[in-house]
Structure 1
């Protein structure tokens, strides 16, 4: 997507799945208000959800109308995948089967495989071939893998999953520790799965203090905290929010989706990278084809993995652990598709 396309006045079509849910409720205003695609870019919202919640979705549509957002040219609520994915430019897969009490991981994977197989097939058939895809619904990496598997005509580099929320959480923890704004922190990395095995890595991160850029490692000077409490807090933050709020992260997830898409649309800042789950090309020894979170830079809509970052044996072990989980998830998901 060139910057010329990015600033076109022709409306772009954005589909949000799980559109009657909590995350979408926080997300829709930010997209409709121009916080993602810019204040000049008009949009048409396609809102997909399941038939039993269409009444709720119609209530959301009423609110969108009542906000009177000048950039929103049309809103299409639907329970039809064909209508939802028809000619879309951007697809935000927020909806997924949530894990319920007593549910095994394989049950969760099996339920989500059905959803993402069906939606992948519809995406392949009806969406624009240059559609930008972001999978948010968990297990996000593996759902993204299945979606891409069933949408073979869309370029592999157009499939991403959300690890920006983890990236933002890592920045916030470091900022709190150093008593600075989170905007002063850059180049943290989330490696691997959007799960409790993810590896939040600060080895390349820097902090700006009084205009001076310093390595986060040198500024914190506490190896024990960085390897233990910091990693554990970021890995388990989603569960901590659920324990406190009795609901999952919605406001922060919506903000992270906006950050992810805006950076993809407009590019990352010079000498700054962000974390994204993308289809691995084999970089850093990760299995090719796996959906894995990497540090990426984006220019003219093209995502590229930051190469040649140094890591010690501890970091390599952390990355290996999250890769192992993802390979297992992928294999279980493929078994579930074959058993249908």
Structure 2
């Protein structure tokens, strides 16, 4: 069987360090599909990435056929069937969000072009590096020959955080919940929505207090990353990697369960066409599909509109990078 070629950027970082072992174990493409890994890093981190590659080799994964370490995007994305864009510039002290977006544009625009020029026809791209939604937009706009629906951003971490908070609140497994969705941007404005959610067939909204939902649950899910940094002293790398695996696995293998994925909007639910936004989705036949026909109330519309405005402002801040 021909190996699946998987590119991971920021390969020397903490998220990749958790992600790569799951990929090599077959957690995305299955335990009978061999893989080739392409690890992309900046020149100063290539040496560290070589060490990561050595550890992967020493783990003796039967599915892992080859590892390429490079600082050249055109080599990293050559023939790529799947790409995890993890490496991004973190926000500096006192840095404005517009500056952060512009600096990340210098990373994601060239990577988008390399994907356009060198990746396989069936490439699937997941942007993990923040600000993920607009970084995905930049990469997608830099790849005019690749279908827009091949570019996504990570909202699954927020989705998983919402499930975890609900499970703790109601003392049930996370698998008991259905039809949870996180709308919008992977930022403080994101909207973890329980309007349609059920737990063991009952409506979640009937099992929880409205004040807890609005004033504790929603902000805690949105700010969970900051909470972990405060407690742990570093970012939530392992859970981000796990969510990235969940996202790509469902994209490849399919799921009829609602999951939250940031995809290029088709204009549904008042989200401007072309924005990369979290939506209720299912995955069928290798494609994300938006769950259609949902009736939204005023509370939902207000929360979603706040995300749309933020995403439009981010888009405008990087307008010079978009075609």
Alignment correspondent of 1:101: 93
Aligned equivalents of 1:79, 1:163: Cα separation in 2: 27
**Deviations, residues 62-118 of structure 1 (Å, cap 9, x unaligned):** 100110000000000110111100000001100111112121111111100111111
Alignment correspondent of 2:34: 42
2:138 to 137, 146, 151: 146
**Deviations, residues 19-49 of structure 1 (Å, cap 9, x unaligned):** 0000000001101001111100100000000
1:276 aligns with 2:264: no
Alignment correspondent of 1:6: none
Aligned equivalents of 1:125, 1:83: Cα separation in 2: 11
Alignment correspondent of 1:316: 301
What's the secondary structure of 1:177's corresponding residue? Answer: helix
Alignment correspondent of 1:76: 68
Of stretches 195-204 and 244-253 in structure 1, the one that deviates more from structure 2 is: 244-253
What's the secondary structure of 2:121's corresponding residue? Answer: coil
Alignment correspondent of 1:20: 12
1:286 aligns with 2:271: yes
Aligned equivalents of 1:180, 1:36: Cα separation in 2: 27
Q: How does 1:1-340 map to 2 (within 5 A)?
A: 9-208=1-200, 213-220=201-208, 222-269=209-256, 272-335=257-320, 337=321
Aligned equivalents of 1:33, 1:302: Cα separation in 2: 23
Aligned equivalents of 1:193, 1:303: Cα separation in 2: 17
What is the CA RMSD across the aligned residues, in angstroms? 1.0
Q: Which segments of 5 or more consecutive residues in structure 2 lack a partner in the other structure?
A: none
Give the C-alpha shift of residue 311 in structure 1: 2.0
Aligned equivalents of 1:104, 1:11: Cα separation in 2: 42
Aligned equivalents of 1:309, 1:20: Cα separation in 2: 42
Aligned equivalents of 1:326, 1:300: Cα separation in 2: 29
Give the C-alpha shift of residue 310 in structure 1: 2.1
Aligned equivalents of 2:260, 2:106: Cα separation in 1: 28
Give the C-alpha shift of residue 219 in structure 1: 2.2
Preserved CA contact (<8 Å) 1:171 1:186: no
Preserved CA contact (<8 Å) 1:187 1:204: yes
What's the secondary structure of 2:207's corresponding residue? Answer: helix
Task: Give TM-score scaled by structure 2 length.
Answer: 0.98
What's the secondary structure of 2:89's corresponding residue? Answer: coil
What's the secondary structure of 2:74's corresponding residue? Answer: helix
What's the secondary structure of 1:170's corresponding residue? Answer: helix
Preserved CA contact (<8 Å) 1:61 1:75: yes
What's the secondary structure of 1:273's corresponding residue? Answer: strand
Count of residues paired in the alignment: 322
**Deviations, residues 197-227 of structure 1 (Å, cap 9, x unaligned):** 000001111112xxxx21111222x111111
